[in-house]
Amino acid sequence: MIDNESQEVINEQAKGGFPPMMEWRRFAEWIGVDEGIVYNWMRRAYLPTVKVGKYPMVNVVVLVERLREGEL
């Protein structure tokens, strides 16, 4: 179950036009960084990820929360 704070973040992001999760290659393209860099960020756990099936996805909700809290 999603708590109220997380739901608010998801709702804000939906208004901003980006999804709560994003395929890592598309994320690299979206932020304008080489795919190899994003891959290494994921490998080193700099980016929050979630595996959907066999595909790693960047968890944009958690990333935005961390950025807001100044954790990155």
- The residue whose two tokens read 């994320």 is 27
More confident residue, 43 or 64: 43
Q: For strand 21-23 and strand 49-52, is the pairing parallel, antiparallel, or unpaired?
A: unpaired
Per-domain residue ranges of the chain? 23-72
Query: Which tokens is 72 given?
Result: 């990155």
Catalogue the E-assigned strands of the chain.
Answer: 21-23, 49-52, 55-59
Question: Residue 29 pLDDT > 80, yes or no?
Answer: yes
What per-residue confidence (pLDDT) applies to 6?
Answer: 64
State the pTM of this model: 0.71
For the chain, give the number of residues.
72
What per-residue confidence (pLDDT) applies to 14?
Answer: 57
User: Is the distance from CB of 46 to CB of 31 less than 8 angstroms?
Assistant: no
Query: Which tokens is 40 given?
Result: 């290494």
